[in-house]
Structure 1
């Protein structure tokens, strides 16, 4: 907290006690002299200046709450009481204002809260984008591409391999697909990985054992046709 923002000027004190400013300055200096310690005196009275109506710079003091209390001890009777009441009210008002958040602080707080809300929304959007499932047409396209790829690997619908181990080949494909994408069924595929799934289908091939089995069955078919 800025100490000067929580003080009264000697000009204000002069007006409050109905005493000439130069005499208030003199009284303050006398008190500082009696305190004897300049550093301690600064916690009561802070030297300053002001510019008068003739644009002349003159000496003044800023009085802390302790300074007002000490200055008030030099005054007796009704005048002293009125000064005490007035400076107490003034300082209480300052303390109340300082305890309330400034407009700038409120704006900063509001901006921070808005930024936090936006971060939450962005996080939610990112989560939805990364976890949103493929739609119906995309699911159909994956299914169709997969059927075409497996059929191609088997040698076509008329091949012996398709007739004998077609089911086995499709099971292997979907097992590989779900394992690669870590999903229980292909309809659970995240939408963001749809293009990747089409690439997977294009690059897929049966394992070595299944390829040999397909080759053997289709080779036997060709032999039968040649007989």
Structure 2
């Protein structure tokens, strides 16, 4: 029973996270890839979730969460991100080390402990990667953001969020001093000038993992 609950929570969380920073809905095939399971396993679970009123779908079509599904999904996401924040702030973890730990703990800690962690941390708005921590009622702020790889030369912005899917990218960015809250000007593709005047050139993988504010275009020094 516990395994089934954990599996269903993982499905709901993945569907929710897929469209959190972009609008393209997730397909059963993409869901199978993200979760590392077979298409037949996805088909079986999708039927269960649909019967439970947590998702809507048409055969072979994209999946979307119902209101009840969003509430369940955000509850798991809230746990995950609060745990990640706690591990970084209180337990000395680096931001590239917390995802797998949170994947395990999010299914096991009590609501009482979770809220104690939330209070201990001062009710944080975002996790270490810049992802918003949903409120207990299922609502969540979504700042207007754009991928670093898509902004133009001279873009002046602030890093809002870094995807935690690739630990190597997280380590690369940490070494360069790039994370949520860092302000920059884009001098050329993937080359950032920070506010202290230093420049950092990031990899293409980082460009597709970093989300930044929509800001003004500045004149780039010649």
Q: TM-score, normalised by structure 2?
A: 0.22
* Bigger radius of gyration: 1
Structure with higher strand content: 2
Higher helix share: 1
